[in-house]
Chains A and B, each alone.
Chain A
Amino acid sequence: NAGVMQNPRHLVRRRGQEARLRCSPMKGHSHVYWYRQLPEEGLKFMVYLQKENIIDESGMPKERFSAEFPKEGPSILRIQQVVRGDSAAYFCASSPDTSDTQYFGPGTRLTVL
């Protein structure tokens, strides 16, 4: 059973460009969570999705950020018009149920030049 997959592992963007981060949950997991980790800090919740639904986006910035988890394919975290402050590690996690352990992917390190 493959773990949570994220790609790309490293992403470099210039200011103003778009960043697309992909996450494939573990097999059998229908709950996906995105977290952001700034340098030397803990992870901060961004958004929680189930297939085709955003359940909780309370941690997501109101502008430039969006997330989706379509019926087919991976979950996508999209950041439009990136700024230097978006540089961080973005982790995806999945679980089979809401009260279950969340298993994390390897993360995507985004660097904005």
Chain B
Amino acid sequence: AQTVTQSQPEMSVQEAETVTLSCTYDTSESNYYLFWYKQPPSRQMILVIRQEAYKQQNATENRFSVNFQKAAKSFSLKISDSQLGDTAMYFCALLQGAQKLVFGQGTRLTINP
């Protein structure tokens, strides 16, 4: 069975600092997709970044980038120059069987002024 593990329940950093959120996963599929979603206090699920497993290049979206280590089954999210609006729950997710997303338990990130 596919699983996604986020080992950091909570993290807290100062505004403008860089923070890295960890995620490991397990899958027997050779091709899959990985995502980071953000859930702010409004509870809306917002896509942060997407990575296709067959692409070796790490995905980047403005201040957000990933470190995708396929052999280690690791998919960490780096947030540079963190802002107060980055405060949210962050969920790592694996697209399983090209159909359903499997989510980790989440990391609660707080950006302090």
Q: Which secondary structure characterizes the binding site on chain A?
A: strand
Per-residue contact bits, chain A 23-62, to B (CB 8 Å; 1 contact, 0 not): 0000000000101000001111100100000011001000
> Within the complex, what minimum Cβ distance (angstroms) separates B113 from chain A?
25
Summarize B's interface: helix, strand, loop or mixed: strand
Interface residue count for A (Cβ, 8 Å)?
23
A59→B100 contact, CB < 8 A: yes
Q: Are B35 and A91 in contact (CB under 8 A)?
A: no
Complex interface: stretch among B44-52, B65-73, B80-88:
B44-52
Specify which chain B residues have a CB less than 8 angstroms from the CB of A91 in the assembled complex.
45
Sort chain B's interface into a size bin. 20 to 34
Establish whether residues A43 and B100, one from each chain, have CB atoms under 8 Å apart when the complex forms: no
Interface string of B96-112 (1 = CB under 8 A from A): 01111111111000000
Asked if B99 contacts A56 (CB within 8 A), the reply is yes
Q: Judge whether A48 and B99 touch: CB under 8 Å.
A: yes
A42 pairs with B99, CB closer than 8 A: no
Tell me the complex Cα distance, A8–B70, Å. Answer: 40
- A41: chain B residues within 8 A (beta carbon): 105-106
**B interface with A by C-beta (< 8 Å):** 33, 35, 37, 42-47, 50, 91, 95, 97-106
